[in-house]
Amino acid sequence: MPFSGKLAIRTAIGLGAVASLTALTACGSGGSDSSSSSSGKITGQISFQTWNLRAGYKDYFTGLIKDFEKQHPGAKVKWIDQPADNYAEKLSSDASAGTLPDVVNVSPDLSSPLAKAGVLLNLDKDPVAAKYKAQYTDAAWKGDAIPGQDGTYSFPWYLNTGPMFYNKTLFKQAGLDANKPPKTYDELFQDANKIATNSHGKIATLAGTPTIEDFGQYGVQLMSADGTKFTYNSAKGVQLLTQYKKLYDNGGLDSQALTSTPDQKGQKFKEQKVAMNPGSAYNLQDFKENAPSLYKNLGISNVPNNTGHQNMYVQSLGVSKTAKNKATAVAFAAFVTNQKNQEAFAHKVTVFPSTKGSLDKPYWSKEDGTDEGRVRVASAKQLKTAINYTPPVMTDEMKTVLQQEIAKCMQGKESPKQALDNAVAQSNKLLQQG
């Protein structure tokens, strides 16, 4: 049940490193950094690349750059903004050509192949970069760690997570307590079966099949400790998929769940054909305007999980290992992601700061009487203990493999174990090729 609400800005959700990016690993190694940012003053020109942010936030970033240059008179920042489409391919092309921007907007799945290729600075091993670690939450810093690479390769920037929306009316009609939404997967499956039975198969509870985040939140170990192979085909993983198969067979999972897009899943929820769907504060205005009867009976809860930790999405800033003015690049990346600037950005858009202490401030800890405030506070509370479940080395191709094998299972073409064994085998092969 990944977060599927649209944001006002582009996030890494649903976007991963493609094969062309993973092929970069042949160009270098992600070993220890011999070059350090410790030499040199904060001076000279650097390039700074964002991911589809200029249209909505030009003034913010222009002001941010001006503030940095004012603090460091000898420094100059050239801002580049790339469109969302083909962003991974652009990173791959730049890295291969040796033209990767000095400070670059990445998500963990995009920084992973770059780190393996040896083109990003290992922040844990650089004496200057490492000193900034204390300004971020431990979970955010770990969210950017690359399995098997012994370090973090990008500064945590902004975070996101989302609540689970549910339809109180459909819960009541099924004889469930509308004020007690499911908190665990066992409770979820029980409620979903009851909703399907009492509606005679007309109302599903979920609109999508499980993703890798679901396996993580169920308590499945997704990868080996050294990050060299996927392990979600364990007995616990098979158990989760078996429950989803039962749900699909009895109508608790929407009949179009195998092919639905996030937008289509959201539409089913708006049409009150599905009882639950993950989202964000962005969705509330949509519900208010386009589904008023749903809005009046909307419940907001945490996404069910068995671990006590919600899923967290991370956007970050990596520093090129070959930046000519590396000290300036490190200082600027740390400046953009410091507490003051992260909090200012998070007041402009529905994202959350990754800096220590930020989420304890009133804006994120006290409701203001609005639905948006309620969602913001609930999400911020989740983020305090959230983790990034998605393995950074898991590419879009690997996610598609898992989705396809799960679809075969739902259709009865493969058993849950066979489907997961096949998905893991194919993904491990792709991992080794990378």
Q: What is the mean pLDDT of each run of 10 residues along the chain (434 residues)?
A: 42 35 40 46 96 94 98 97 92 94 95 92 94 94 84 94 94 97 97 96 95 96 92 98 97 94 93 93 86 94 93 95 96 98 94 96 94 88 91 92 98 98 98 84
Residues 125 and 250 in one domain: no
In a domain, 382, yes or no: no
In a domain, 415, yes or no: yes
pLDDT at 35: 44
Residues 264 and 398 in one domain: yes
Residues 287 and 348 in one domain: no
pLDDT at 434: 67
Give this prediction's pTM: 0.85
Residues 285 and 339 in one domain: no
For the beta carbon of residue 368, count every other beta carbon within 10 angstroms: 11
DSSP secondary structure letters along 267-298 = HHHHTTSBSEEE--HHHHHHHHHH-HHHHHTE
Q: How many domains does the chain have?
A: 2
In a domain, 228, yes or no: yes
Residues 226 and 294 in one domain: yes
In a domain, 10, yes or no: no
Contacts of residue 138, defined as CB under 8 A and 6 or more positions apart, other chains included, come to none
In a domain, 1, yes or no: no
Residues 303 and 406 in one domain: yes
Angle between helices 235-250 and 185-198 (to 10 degrees): 20
Residues 325 and 397 in one domain: no
pLDDT at 397: 93
Token pair 């898992």 in the structure block, residue? 402
In a domain, 8, yes or no: no
CA proximity to 45, closest of 327, 321, 317: 327
Residues 292 and 305 in one domain: yes
- Beta bridge partners, 80, equal 49
Residue 205 corresponds to which tokens in the numbers above?
């509870």
Residues 82 and 135 in one domain: yes
Domain endpoint, select from 376, 400, 422 = 376
Residues 296 and 371 in one domain: no
**What is the residue range of 63's domain?**
19-159+314-376
pLDDT at 150: 84
Contacts of residue 89, defined as CB under 8 A and 6 or more positions apart, other chains included, come to 18, 20, 21
CATH code of 353's domain: 3.40.190.10
pLDDT at 374: 86
pLDDT at 370: 87
Residues 115 and 143 in one domain: yes
**Would you say 105 and 315 are in contact if contact means Cβ atoms under 8 Å apart?**
yes
In a domain, 4, yes or no: no
Residues 117 and 261 in one domain: no
pLDDT at 280: 79
Cα–Cα dist 388/309, whole Å: 9
In a domain, 3, yes or no: no
